[in-house]
């Protein structure tokens, strides 16, 4: 009887695997699942993911409706932590349910002047544990940062009001850089502000060094911070107005150093929209600049022509002590729009970084490393730069239509040293004739590239409404967790209705990675 049960179980499991492990909508020229033994296949596809992480699919929709404002909830950053909890950080114009501090919401609900920074915590199966609003936020695109800590999460944003008992006091009348350390139960472990009484200061992104110190990036319109405990680094004689910054903080919130840098005439615009730290603690900043940097920043691979104040992508390198190393522009000859930029991802080689986004024109000077040709205006791109910021490859992923859907996420595929990118497509990218979407409506795409930029496989999810993703992460069981809004227009500010949601679904195509659990590490395919 016992052996019969074992055979029945194996037969049932194999049947399930044959049903689920071969999705009919997968366009695949590089799948290697056939190389796996039956035992390995069963373990990787079923038993181990179920043991490691909750595979529940769910959708969360806030229990309130916006009547006049389309920003009832704007989820901007999502992470899943090692204990499988899900944190969503964004902007809310309503008092969220389960708010730990019922009086913390500032302003009148459903008002453009009441954009509160709000942190939501969910279980792995989508149950809302708690929310917390932590003051007014001066929103700017996706200018919010969220990363895991040993005790909870660190977050940063541009604050217009003060909360709690900060280490550095908030300077009233101006926007301040806010950095918070939040515990798993939603309490504030510490928070601090960096501001000035002469202008605004904004934060866009946060990362961690190997020793646990924090790196925050943003910009100042005020000649620097009024109060900073660490060293101030600049290569020009003064800190100009409209400068960008990258700064290092200890895990306790005190400053170690801040480096201010800018163009020669201080016309910067979001030069540090994203920060990322490599395995060797090299700091990378990613954003936009209208002109060449100041003359002291002279280790440059490709420089801005400077003939017109044209906004181009800028990537810069700093060491962990704040020393400037080098920078490069991704030149296009056309002023870029302001797409949401994904956090840069280190490849399997130390200090070899992958950047992505959407460009309004083909990049200049990179023809020799181009993999897929530029297809048309507003084309999604992926570019890999080596440790000296020279391009190893650039590939364009869009089609001939004016596709303004940016790439939201880059993550590694442990199977082939390749990479996945997640992006909405408004138009058929032209991979083959089976694109399921409607022109002008966002169609969610998950694209797998190998380590040299060649397209391996892809999957799409067609939408019947304007389902516009705002943020994305992959979960520990291989699912797709998307923060988005549903409306009747791609621009929710003009939509007649806009419903914001958080949704976890099966991935568009199989994702293989190394899973980590308390009982040890099991390699993915």
24, pLDDT greater than 80 = no
From 224, 243, 63, 253, select the one nearest 151 (Cα to Cα). 253
Q: Do the domain assignments include residue 185?
A: yes
Same-domain status, 344 and 269: no
Q: What whole-number distance in Å separates Cα of residue 81 and Cα of residue 154? A: 12
523, pLDDT greater than 50 = no
Domain CATH code at residue 257: 2.120.10
Q: What is the pLDDT of residue 140?
A: 59
Same-domain status, 310 and 347: no
Q: How many domains would you assign to the chain?
A: 2
Q: Do the domain assignments include residue 428?
A: yes
Q: Do the domain assignments include residue 60?
A: no
Q: What whole-number distance in Å separates Cα of residue 148 and Cα of residue 159? A: 20
Buried b (16+ CB within 10 A) or exposed e, 256-293: bbbbbbbbbebebbbbbbbbbbbeebbbbbbbbbbbbb
Question: What does the mean pLDDT of the chain come to?
Answer: 81
Q: Do the domain assignments include residue 446?
A: yes
Same-domain status, 322 and 344: no
**H or E stretch covering 384:** strand 379-385
Buried b (16+ CB within 10 A) or exposed e, 136-150: bbbbbebbbbbbbbe
Same-domain status, 345 and 257: no
Same-domain status, 360 and 273: no
Q: Do the domain assignments include residue 398?
A: yes
Instruction: Report, as an integer, the average pLDDT of 454-466.
Output: 79
pLDDT in tens, 108-150: 888 878 889 999 999 988 899 999 999 999 875 567 899 999 9
275, pLDDT greater than 80 = yes
Same-domain status, 383 and 315: no
208, pLDDT greater than 50 = yes
Q: What whole-number distance in Å separates Cα of residue 271 and Cα of residue 273? A: 6
Within 10 angstroms of residue 433's Cβ, the number of other Cβ atoms is 6
Q: Do the domain assignments include residue 10?
A: no
Same-domain status, 118 and 160: yes
Q: Do the domain assignments include residue 31?
A: no
Q: What whole-number distance in Å separates Cα of residue 343 and Cα of residue 355? A: 8
Same-domain status, 327 and 363: no
Cα 314-316-319 angle, rounded to 5 deg: 170
Same-domain status, 317 and 432: no
The 3-state DSSP class for residue 9 equals helix
Q: Among the three residues 284, 304, 331, which one is the final residue of a domain in this structure?
A: 331
| Residue 417 or 171, more confident | 171
Same-domain status, 324 and 345: no
Instruction: Report, as an integer, the average pLDDT of 373-399.
Output: 94
Q: What whole-number distance in Å separates Cα of residue 278 and Cα of residue 294? A: 25
Q: Among the three residues 281, 311, 331, which one is the final residue of a domain in this structure?
A: 331
From 336, 464, 496, select the one nearest 404 (Cα to Cα). 336
Q: What whole-number distance in Å separates Cα of residue 28 and Cα of residue 459? A: 9
Same-domain status, 346 and 305: no
Instruction: Report, as an integer, the average pLDDT of 149-167.
Output: 95
Q: Do the domain assignments include residue 485?
A: yes
- Strand positions, DSSP E, 11-142: 27-28, 58-60, 73-80, 86-92, 116-122, 128-136
Q: Under 8 Å CB-to-CB from 226, ≥6 apart: which residues?
A: 171, 195, 196, 197
Model confidence band, residue 170 (pLDDT cutoffs 50, 70, 90): very high
Which residue range forms the structural domain that includes residue 123? Answer: 72-331
pTM above 0.75, yes or no: yes
Q: Among the three residues 277, 306, 331, which one is the final residue of a domain in this structure?
A: 331
Tell me the DSSP string of 106-167: -S-TT-TT--EEEEEEE-TTS-EEEEEEEEEB---TT-EEEEE-SSEEEEEEEESS--SS-S
Within 138-254, residue ranges assigned H as helices are: none
Burial tier of 471 (Cβ tally within 10 Å: 0-12, 13-18, 19+): buried
Same-domain status, 284 and 144: yes
Model confidence band, residue 469 (pLDDT cutoffs 50, 70, 90): confident
Residue that has been written with the tokens 């991979």 in this structure: 431
């Amino acid at each position: 009887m016992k052996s019969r049960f074992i055979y029945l179980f194996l037969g049932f499991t194999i049947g399930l695997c044959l049903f689920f492990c071969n999705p009919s909508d997968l366009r695949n020229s590089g799948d290697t699942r056939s190389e796996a033994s039956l035992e390995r296949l069963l373990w990787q596809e079923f038993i181990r993911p179920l043991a490691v992480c909750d595979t529940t699919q769910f959708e969360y929709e806030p229990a309130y409706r916006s009547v006049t404002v389309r920003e009832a909830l704007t989820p901007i950053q999502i992470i899943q932590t090692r204990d499988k909890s899900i944190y969503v950080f964004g902007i809310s114009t309503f008092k969220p349910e389960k708010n730990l501090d019922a009086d913390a919401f500032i302003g009148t609900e459903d008002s453009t002047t009441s954009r509160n920074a709000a942190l939501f915590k969910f279980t792995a199966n989508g149950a809302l544990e708690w929310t917390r609003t932590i003051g007014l936020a001066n929103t700017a695109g996706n200018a919010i940062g969220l990363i895991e800590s040993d005790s909870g999460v660190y977050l940063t944003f541009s604050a217009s009001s003060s909360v709690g008992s900060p280490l550095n006091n908030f300077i009233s009348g101006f926007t301040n850089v806010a950095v918070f350390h939040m515990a798993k139960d939603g309490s504030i472990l510490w928070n601090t502000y960096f501001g000035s009484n002469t202008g605004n200061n904004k934060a866009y992104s946060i990362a961690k060094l190997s020793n646990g110190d924090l790196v925050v990036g943003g910009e100042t319109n005020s000649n620097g911070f009024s109060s900073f405990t660490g060293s101030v680094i600049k290569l020009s004689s003064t800190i100009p107005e409209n400068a960008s910054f990258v700064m290092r903080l200890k895990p306790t919130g005190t400053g170690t150093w801040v480096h201010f840098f800018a163009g020669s005439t201080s016309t910067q615009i979001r030069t540090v929209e994203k920060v990322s730290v490599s395995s060797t603690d090299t700091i990378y900043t990613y954003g936009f600049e209208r002109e060449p940097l100041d003359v002291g920043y002279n280790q440059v691979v490709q420089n801005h022509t400077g003939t017109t104040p044209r906004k181009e992508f800028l990537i810069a390198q700093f060491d962990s002590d704040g020393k400037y190393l080098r920078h490069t522009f991704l030149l296009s000859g056309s002023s870029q729009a302001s797409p949401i930029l994904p956090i840069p991802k280190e490849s399997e080689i130390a200090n070899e970084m992958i950047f992505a986004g959407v460009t309004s024109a083909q990049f200049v000077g990179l023809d020799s490393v181009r993999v897929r040709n530029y297809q048309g205006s507003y084309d999604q791109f992926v570019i890999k730069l080596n440790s000296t910021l020279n391009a190893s490859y650039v590939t364009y992923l869009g089609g001939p239509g004016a596709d303004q859907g940016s790439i939201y996420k880059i993550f590694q595929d442990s199977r082939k040293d390749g990479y996945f990118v997640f992006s909405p497509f408004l138009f058929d990218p032209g991979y083959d004739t089976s694109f399921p979407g409607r022109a002008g409506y966002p169609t969610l795409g998950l694209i797998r590239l190998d380590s040299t930029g060649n397209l391996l496989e892809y999957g799409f999810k067609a939408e019947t409404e304007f389902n516009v993703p705002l943020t994305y992460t992959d979960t520990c069981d291989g699912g797709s967790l998307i923060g988005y809004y549903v409306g009747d227009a791609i621009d929710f500010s003009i939509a007649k209705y806009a419903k914001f949601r958080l949704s976890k679904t099966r991935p568009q195509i199989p994702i293989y990675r190394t899973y980590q659990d308390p009982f040890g590490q099991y390699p993915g395919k």
